[in-house]
């Protein structure tokens, strides 16, 4: 359950406070913005503040009253959090029917009745249609909070019945100190933020030790291949057992950085700031054209990967092509470990 408000959420708190003060508070809110900026976090905190007996003047809950304790324990009877069930990708129509029924009941503590649907774009068509009925006939005191990083995936009829609250990109100067305070290890917050496209909560998830070492292993494998010193088939085999999609995103971001390093004389802004030197060394071993072609191939495999085609074969081809990018030049990248 929520802890203190995220520093970059102040404008959103302010907006909602103003609406509350003017009595223009919406029955349904749609929180939109990039993945990993804390929309769900905000939704839960806002739900808590609606149920709190004495919210702070700035908006967030007191975090001390009985209602807050119940929210924190996950047992407040007037709050329901709806997400895809374990092992499922979408929110079912039954779950959404449950929301309608839940909101039709009286609040047990006499304040609001709050439902958070997150991510709202994971509702299937029937579920979204069912939610529409609830949105059209809101009950007194009921508040529905939807979150999505893909608002275009939601039917226009749902969007038009919600007040939108936008969350923009987070500026590094607010995100980096917060991220640093959350990290247990000695990971570099700037590197993590760069990897997560600037999204602080995504960056925090990426700090996961296993992911950090997976990224390092994969990069080392690609370096060895580039130096013609590894077997693409066995690397594909290892990769297919790991987080393939994330690996493909990494590969894409490494190639993008290599292209930038190769194409710009002055020091370019790259995503993988912790890998400037190894990426520059690799980039020196391939032509710009070969790198651009490889970048396209990664995009193709990412698309095919979603269609459940034979992933092992796709990765083998991709890695063989990667090796070929470096075979044409005499310059061989210098391989060195433990730098990520």
Query: Counting contacts by CB under 5 A, is residue 56 touching Zn ion?
Result: no
Around Cβ 270, how many Cβ atoms within 10 Å? 20
Kindly tell me the sign of the dihedral angle through the C-alpha atoms of 267, 268, 274, 277: negative
CA atoms of 24 and 204, how far apart (whole Å): 35
Cβ-based nearer residue to Zn ion, 57 or 266: 57
Return the range that interacts with Zn ion (CB under 5 A); candidates 61-69, 173-181, 248-256, 285-293. Answer: 61-69
Query: Counting contacts by CB under 5 A, is residue 62 touching Zn ion?
Result: yes
Return the range that interacts with Zn ion (CB under 5 A); candidates 6-14, 46-54, 180-188, 190-198. Answer: 46-54
Cβ-based nearer residue to Zn ion, 68 or 225: 68
Cβ-based nearer residue to Zn ion, 52 or 196: 52
CA atoms within 13 A on the CB side of 157: 10
54 token code pair: 């004495």
Cβ-based nearer residue to Zn ion, 43 or 120: 43
Return the range that interacts with Zn ion (CB under 5 A); candidates 63-71, 74-82, 124-132, 241-249. Answer: 63-71
Nearest distance, CB of residue 68 and Zn ion, angstroms: 3
137 token code pair: 């006939």
Q: Which one among 15, 17, 34, 65 touches Zn ion, defined by CB under 5 A? A: 65
Return the range that interacts with Zn ion (CB under 5 A); candidates 9-17, 66-74, 154-162, 276-284. Answer: 66-74
CA atoms within 13 A on the CB side of 91: 25
Cβ-based nearer residue to Zn ion, 39 or 76: 76
Query: Counting contacts by CB under 5 A, is residue 1 touching Zn ion?
Result: no
Q: Which one among 61, 206, 251, 318 touches Zn ion, defined by CB under 5 A? A: 61
Nearest distance, CB of residue 1 and Zn ion, angstroms: 12
140 touches 112 (CB < 8 A)? no
Q: Which one among 16, 31, 52, 222 touches Zn ion, defined by CB under 5 A? A: 52
Nearest distance, CB of residue 16 and Zn ion, angstroms: 16
Q: Over the range 158-196, which residues count as b (16 or more CB within 10 Å of their CB) and which as e? A: bbebbeebebeebeeeebbebbeeeeeeebebbbbbbbb
Cβ-based nearer residue to Zn ion, 65 or 132: 65
CA angle 280, 281, 283 (to 5 degrees): 60
Cβ-based nearer residue to Zn ion, 29 or 68: 68
Cβ-based nearer residue to Zn ion, 52 or 214: 52
Return the range that interacts with Zn ion (CB under 5 A); candidates 49-57, 83-91, 245-253, 284-292. Answer: 49-57
Nearest distance, CB of residue 71 and Zn ion, angstroms: 8
Cβ-based nearer residue to Zn ion, 138 or 141: 141
Nearest distance, CB of residue 67 and Zn ion, angstroms: 5
Nearest distance, CB of residue 117 and Zn ion, angstroms: 23
148 token code pair: 């999505």
CA atoms of 310 and 89, how far apart (whole Å): 21
Nearest distance, CB of residue 55 and Zn ion, angstroms: 7
Total residues interacting with Zn ion, rule: CB under 5 A: 5
Question: Which parts of this chain interact with Zn ion (CB under 5 A)?
Answer: 52, 61-62, 65, 68
């Amino acid at each position: 359950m929520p802890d203190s408000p995220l520093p970059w959420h102040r404008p959103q708190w302010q907006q909602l406070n103003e609406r509350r003060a003017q009595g223009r508070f919406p029955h349904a809110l749609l929180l939109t913005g990039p993945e990993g900026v804390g929309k769900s976090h905000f939704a839960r905190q806002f739900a808590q503040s609606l149920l709190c007996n004495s919210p702070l003047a700035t908006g967030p809950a007191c975090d001390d009253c009985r209602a807050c304790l119940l929210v924190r324990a996950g047992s407040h009877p007037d709050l329901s959090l709806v997400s895809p069930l374990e092992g499922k990708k979408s929110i079912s129509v039954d779950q959404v029917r449950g929301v309608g029924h839940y909101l039709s009941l009286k609040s047990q503590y006499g304040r609001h009745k709050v439902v958070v649907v997150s991510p709202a774009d994971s509702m299937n068509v029937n579920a979204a249609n069912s939610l529409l009925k609830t949105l059209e006939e809101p009950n007194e005191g009921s508040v529905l909070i939807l979150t999505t990083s893909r608002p275009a995936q939601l039917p226009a009829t749902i969007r038009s019945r919600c007040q939108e609250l936008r969350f923009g990109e987070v500026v590094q100067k607010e995100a980096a100190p917060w991220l640093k305070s959350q990290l247990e290890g000695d990971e570099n917050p700037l590197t993590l933020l760069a990897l997560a496209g600037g999204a602080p909560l995504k960056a925090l998830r990426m700090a996961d030790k296993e992911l950090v070492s997976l990224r390092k292993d994969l990069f080392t494998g690609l370096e060895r291949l580039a130096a013609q010193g590894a077997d693409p088939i066995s690397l594909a085999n290892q990769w297919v057992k790991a987080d393939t999609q994330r690996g493909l995103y990494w590969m894409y971001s490494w190639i993008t950085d290599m292209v930038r390093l190769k194409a710009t004389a002055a020091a370019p802004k790259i995503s993988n700031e912790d890998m400037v030197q190894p990426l520059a060394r690799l980039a020196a071993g391939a032509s710009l054209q070969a790198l651009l072609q490889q970048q396209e191939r990664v995009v193709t495999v990412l698309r095919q990967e979603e269609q459940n085609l034979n992933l092992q074969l796709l990765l083998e081809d991709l890695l063989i092509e990667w090796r070929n990018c470096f075979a044409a030049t005499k310059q061989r990248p210098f391989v060195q470990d433990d730098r990520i």
